[in-house]
Amino acid sequence: MVGIEARVGAMLVLQDEVNARVHPQWRAQGYPWYRAIWVECAELLDHHGWKWWKHQTPDWAQVQLELVDIWHFGLSALLTSRVPATAIATALGQAPDASAARGAEAFCSAVEVFAANTLRMRDFDLPGFAALLRAAGLDFEALYRGYVGKNVLNRFRQDRGYQQGTYRKHWGGREDNEWLVILSADLDPESANFAADLHAALDASYRAGDRPRG
């Protein structure tokens, strides 16, 4: 639990920093984090697949990436509410076994329960999120690695004019989230230079506008 708590603390710091780039006094702005969360739930279901009139195969890499996106907004809500890292780590460590939600319909239902709780509470449902992680097969280490990677992408977006509307989200025939998965796979997430190396790889790919060369 000590290791989890330390990494939760590190993620809280990173989230505070990226939010401050959007607005230095972001905590006082009353941003509706819950709204961003339930909208992300819809994107999550799209990547998993829910349409009964066509064949669909879950894109688990993108499903997990959407959960990481939800975690960004969840962390922001937790920071606003001043929930300590210890309590967050405990909730993540006590998630119920969601192996029963491996089936397609059960997984979709789990997402809907989480989204419904989010709307009802107008807040982040931390226990529900922890259960969703289990249902998607995403453990804490994978969440941490995915979060750090997406945090780098969010910083990259801000550096490239995301807030001003000048950022180009698609290049080389792919969305930036897809590039994130591709480029991260070639790097060591345990390296002390992981964040800097990933930012450099995104920059090089963005400039080239094409698939990175191995």
Task: Return the domain boundaries, the chain.
Answer: 2-136, 158-214
**Token pair of 68, please?**
């990481």
Report the pLDDT value the prediction gives residue 100, as an integer from 0 to 100: 42
Q: How far apart are CA 147 and CA 66, in angstroms?
A: 10
Q: How far apart are CA 140 and CA 41, in angstroms?
A: 19
H/E element holding 76? helix 60-80
Looking at 1.10.10.10, 3.30.460.80, 1.10.4010.10, 3.10.105.10, the CATH number of the domain 2-136 comes to: 1.10.4010.10
**Which three-class secondary structure string do you get for 155-192?**
HHHHHCCCCCCCCCCEECCEEHHHHHHHHHCCCCCCCC
Q: How far apart are CA 183 and CA 202, in angstroms?
A: 7
Q: How far apart are CA 34 and CA 37, in angstroms?
A: 5
Query: Which three-class secondary structure state does DSSP give residue 83?
Result: coil
Residues 12 and 27: beta-carbon distance below 8 Å: no
AA letter at 211: R
Q: How far apart are CA 49 and CA 89, in angstroms?
A: 30
Closest by CA to 65, choosing from 14, 136, 156, is 136
Per-state percent for the chain, helix, strand, coil, to nearest 5:
70, 0, 30
Give me the tens of pLDDT residue by residue for the chain, a chain 214 residues long.
558 888 899 899 989 998 998 899 999 999 999 999 999 999 999 999 888 899 888 888 889 889 999 999 999 999 999 999 999 999 988 655 544 445 677 788 889 999 999 999 999 999 999 989 988 888 888 898 889 888 899 889 988 888 888 999 999 999 998 899 899 888 887 787 888 899 999 999 999 885 444 4
Q: What is the DSSP code (8-state) at residue 29?
A: G
AA letter at 101: A
Position of tokens 């339930």? 38
Report the pLDDT value the prediction gives residue 192, as an integer from 0 to 100: 75
**Token pair of 171, please?**
């290049």
